[in-house]
Structure 1
Amino acid sequence: MLPSSQDLNENDAPAETARRVKTLVVAYDDPAARPGERDLAVEMPVNIVYGSVPYAVMMTTPADLVDFAYGFSLTEGIVASAGEIRDVTVEIADGGLRLLVNLAPGRLREHLARKRAISGRTGCGVCGIDDLSALPMAEARVDGAGSVGIAAIERALTTLGEAQVLNRRTRAVHAAAWANLDGSLFVVREDVGRHNGLDKLIGALMRERIDPATGFLVITSRCSFEMVEKAASLGASILVAISAPTSLAIDRARLHGMTLCAIARSDTLTVFHGRERLILAPSL
């Protein structure tokens, strides 16, 4: 069974993640509507607070929130490691949820001294920046992890669908997964927001002290530059996306020395950078 942050914090999911609603199904060639039911993914505002100072409000699926707090804190540049977060408390608030992130004293002082210029720096794309120089860029931490075989990537892609529990119910959420180098899935996180899903996954890996050299990332969403930057923040060297990348995503993958594969389907995948880490044929 894939590990869940529910095992780490019993108060991590104080709200439902999917909601069943009644529907009417109408076919174009049949005027008679028939009743039905559909599971919808729950989207909820979550206020992230450091110390007593609100930082951002993100729209997210209300599950694995402690993981989200860790991953968001790393990819926003608030912390550099899991040890700089003492604990995370999830609170129910009017109209949503609140994540109270207790930072180590030194890190909190540095955070409060730093002027926050934008809202949701990597969490919501590039909204809020006022200059191109403000585009987020992770430190180049990718250092050439071990190679991965095409068969391992195929295995991860094949099993990912079954591991997407919430998406099977709703068909409306993104997934981010960490696969071991043999292609077996270690952990999967889902969210209505593709950035949030990856932040949750990164948070889970941080909390488990997973070495980025021991596996690779798989995402079901399109691969924009923000997703590459988040992967680079973790130190991951291999990113596989089911959808297509953007041109800036490829530029950033080259900058960080990251292997980027995308348009990954059941029969083929396209390598955009970092061919040297891929084993394209079985060893003889």
Structure 2
Amino acid sequence: MQSRSTLSNSPIPDDGEAVSVRRPVERFHLGQNVHDEDWIASEIPLALHYNDHAHVVMMATPMDLEDFALGFSLSEAIIESAEEFESVSVHQRLEGFELSVRIPEARVEAIAQRQRNLSGRSSCGLCGTQQLEDVVRHPPRVGRGPMVPGANLHRALAALDSAQPLNSRTGATHAAAWADSGGNLMLVREDVGRHNALDKLIGAMAKRAVAVDGGFLVLTSRASYEMVQKAATVGISLVVAISAPTALAIHLAESTGVTLIGFARATSHVIYTHPDRIGQAGS
């Protein structure tokens, strides 16, 4: 399994990686039915094991899986740095994929103490969490981060559509993107699950040692609590979402120092927390 190394316009992986499939459909338009075929995004079980201990099963798109394993480990505070991510091996099984990760044994013991053996879905990052404190986890306050003129937010958003080849084909995936402070897209990752797309992006950034204080995060989804939590955990200070935030996401962003923006469009956006990082939209 090879991960993409570039940000955008990179080809969709071969169908051998099963990221999308063709299926027969009946199209109805202007009173007529047409027999046709459509590209459908794949969604498969993905089992994550740490030091041979089963931890979580997610539903995900089978691409950029090594990025996902590293990003999930960081965003869920299973490890503190990419240096603790010793190795990952990807195994294709009949039912899906198994990711076998090696991390320091002390980190595995900490997982057991948290009592998190969760079974997740692509739309849910908390399914199966056993303890309330595991849900409402407050990351440390983020650093100062960059100052970004509003126009640069819009520049990144304008470039994002063409940087999502799988969504262009299927219309079924979310994207998480990293842009520099000038609004230039640096990395993009896609998945049927918004949490998975963000974890893939975080992993890709960690592998390339991308500094989190040099840019901002763009999400093609709502800004839920879990998305802000993952971003703050790795130190991202500016989160831009095309849809709305939740009240709990705003609360977490306020308390961790994250600038949270929702309803981001080509010419407009709404700032919910810490507006001092954002210049005027025309600046």
The two structures have a TM-score, normalised by structure 2, of 0.90
- Aligned partner of 2:27 in structure 1 is 25
- Aligned partner of 1:5 in structure 2 is 3
Structure 1 56/23 Cα, relative in aligned 2: closer, same or farther at 3 Å?
same
Structure 1 99/160 Cα, relative in aligned 2: closer, same or farther at 3 Å?
same
| Deviates further, 154-163 or 132-141 | 132-141
Query: Distance in 2 between the 1:174 and 1:77 partners?
Result: 23
Deviations along 1:83-109, whole A, 9 cap, x unmatched?
A: 10111111011211100101134434x
Contact 1:5/1:64, CA 8 A, preserved across alignment? yes
- Aligned partner of 1:47 in structure 2 is 47
- Aligned partner of 1:142 in structure 2 is 142
Query: Distance in 2 between the 1:281 and 1:127 partners?
Result: 38
Query: Distance in 2 between the 1:72 and 1:257 partners?
Result: 22
Query: Distance in 1 between the 2:54 and 2:107 partners?
Result: 16
What is the identity percentage for the equivalent residue pairs of Structure 1 and Structure 2?
41
Question: How many correspondences in the alignment?
Answer: 274
- The residue matched to 2:49 in structure 1 has which SS? strand
Structure 1 90/33 Cα, relative in aligned 2: closer, same or farther at 3 Å?
same
Displacement, 1:233?
Answer: 0.9
Deviations along 1:186-244, whole A, 9 cap, x unmatched?
A: 00000000100001001111111111100000000111100000000110000000011
Give the partner amino acid of 1:117: R
Task: Spell out the pairing of 1:151-162 with structure 2 (5 A cutoff).
Answer: 151-162=151-162
- Aligned partner of 2:217 in structure 1 is 217
| Deviates further, 76-85 or 240-249 | 76-85
Displacement, 1:78?
Answer: 1.3
Displacement, 1:74?
Answer: 1.3
Contact 2:55/2:116, CA 8 A, preserved across alignment? no
Query: Distance in 2 between the 1:130 and 1:102 partners?
Result: 24
- Which among 18, 21, 35 is matched to residue 16 of structure 1? 18
Give the partner amino acid of 1:5: S
- The residue matched to 1:5 in structure 2 has which SS? coil
Contact 1:122/1:195, CA 8 A, preserved across alignment? no
Structure 1 258/50 Cα, relative in aligned 2: closer, same or farther at 3 Å?
same
Query: Distance in 2 between the 1:190 and 1:80 partners?
Result: 24
Query: Distance in 2 between the 1:46 and 1:256 partners?
Result: 31
Displacement, 1:35?
Answer: 1.5
- Aligned partner of 1:114 in structure 2 is 113
Structure 1 151/115 Cα, relative in aligned 2: closer, same or farther at 3 Å?
closer
The two structures have a TM-score, normalised by structure 1, of 0.89
- Aligned partner of 2:9 in structure 1 is none
Contact 2:76/2:233, CA 8 A, preserved across alignment? no
Contact 2:141/2:257, CA 8 A, preserved across alignment? no
Displacement, 1:134?
Answer: 3.4
Unmatched runs of 5 consecutive residues or more in structure 2: 7-12
Query: Distance in 2 between the 1:105 and 1:130 partners?
Result: 22
Deviations along 1:159-188, whole A, 9 cap, x unmatched?
A: 000001100000000000000000000000
Query: Distance in 2 between the 1:114 and 1:131 partners?
Result: 11
- The residue matched to 1:148 in structure 2 has which SS? coil
- The residue matched to 2:118 in structure 1 has which SS? coil
Give the partner amino acid of 1:175: A
Query: Distance in 2 between the 1:201 and 1:165 partners?
Result: 15
Query: Distance in 2 between the 1:130 and 1:50 partners?
Result: 19
Contact 1:156/1:179, CA 8 A, preserved across alignment? yes
Query: Distance in 1 between the 2:224 and 2:37 partners?
Result: 34
User: What is the Cα-based RMSD across aligned positions, in Å?
Assistant: 2.3
